[in-house]
A and B are shown apart, each in its own frame.
Chain A
Amino acid sequence: MAKMVSLDNLLANAAVRRAEATPWLGALIGEATEKFAHVGLPNRRNEAWRYSDLSKALHEATRSESEQGAAPTLAGACVAAFENGVLDESQSTYGAMGARSLRQVLAENASPFASIIGRVNGQPDHPIINLNTALMEEGLVLRVPADVTLATPLHLRFNWRGGEPRSEDGRHLRILVVLEDGARATLFESHDGAPGFATVVTEVRLAAAAKLTHIRLENFTDAARQTAATLGEIGEKALYRGFYFSQGGHFARHEALLKLAGEEAHVGVDAAYMVADRRHCDNTTIIEHASPNTTSNQVFRGVLAGSARGVYQGCVKVAKGAQKTDARQLSRAMLLSHKAEIITKPELEIFADDVKCSHGATAGELDASALFFLRARGIPEAEARAMLVEAFLVEAMDAVESEAMRGLVANCARLWMRRHAGEASHVE
Chain B
Amino acid sequence: MLEIKDLHVNVHGKEILKGLSLKVPPGEVHAIMGPNGAGKSTTSYTLAGRAGYEVTSGEIGFHGEDVTALSPEERAARGIFLAFQYPMEIPGVTSMNFLKTAMNSQAKLRGEPELDAAQFLRRVRAAAKELNISEEMLKRPLNVGFSGGEKKRNETLQMALLKPRLAILDEMDSGLDIDAMKLVAEGVNKLRAPDRSFLVITHYQRLLDYITPDVIHILSDGKIVLSGDKSLALQLEEKGYDAVINKAA
Contact = CB atoms under 8 A, between A and B. Distances in A.
B73 interface: yes
Contacts of B73: 375-376, 378-381, 384
A370 B92 CA distance: 12
A373 B105 contact: no
Contact of B105 (A378, A391, A394, A395): A378
Contacts of A380: 73, 105, 109
B90 A375 contact: no
Contact of B90 (A368, A373, A395): A373
Contacts of A426: 51
Given A373-B84, A391-B92, A383 B52 contact: no
A377 B51 contact: no
Contacts, number: 75
Contacts of A376: 48-50, 72-73, 75-76, 81-82
Interface in B68-112: 71-73, 75-77, 81-82, 84, 87-88, 90-93, 98, 101-103, 105-106, 109
A378 B91 CA distance: 19
Contacts of A373: 84, 87-88, 90
Nearest to B92: A391
Main secondary structure of the interface of A (DSSP, over half): helix
Contacts of B48: 372, 376
Given A376-B82, A377-B162, A391 B90 contact: yes
A387 interface: yes
B76 A377 contact: yes
Interface residues of B, number: 30
**Most chain-A CB neighbours within 10 Å: which of B75, B84, B105?**
B105
Contacts of B71: 375, 381
Contacts of A90: none
Interface string A357-400: 00000000000111011111111110110011011101100000
Nearest to B101: A379
Contacts of B103: 378
B43 interface: no
B158 interface: yes
Contacts of A392: 92
Contacts of A395: 92
Given A391-B93, A428-B52, A379 B102 contact: yes
Given A369-B88, A376-B75, 9 more contacts: A370-B90, A373-B90, A374-B90, A375-B73, A376-B81, A377-B158, A378-B77, A387-B101, A388-B90
7 contacts: A372-B51, A372-B72, A375-B73, A379-B105, A383-B105, A384-B73, A391-B90
Closest 4 CB pairs of A and B: A391-B92, A378-B76, A378-B106, A375-B72
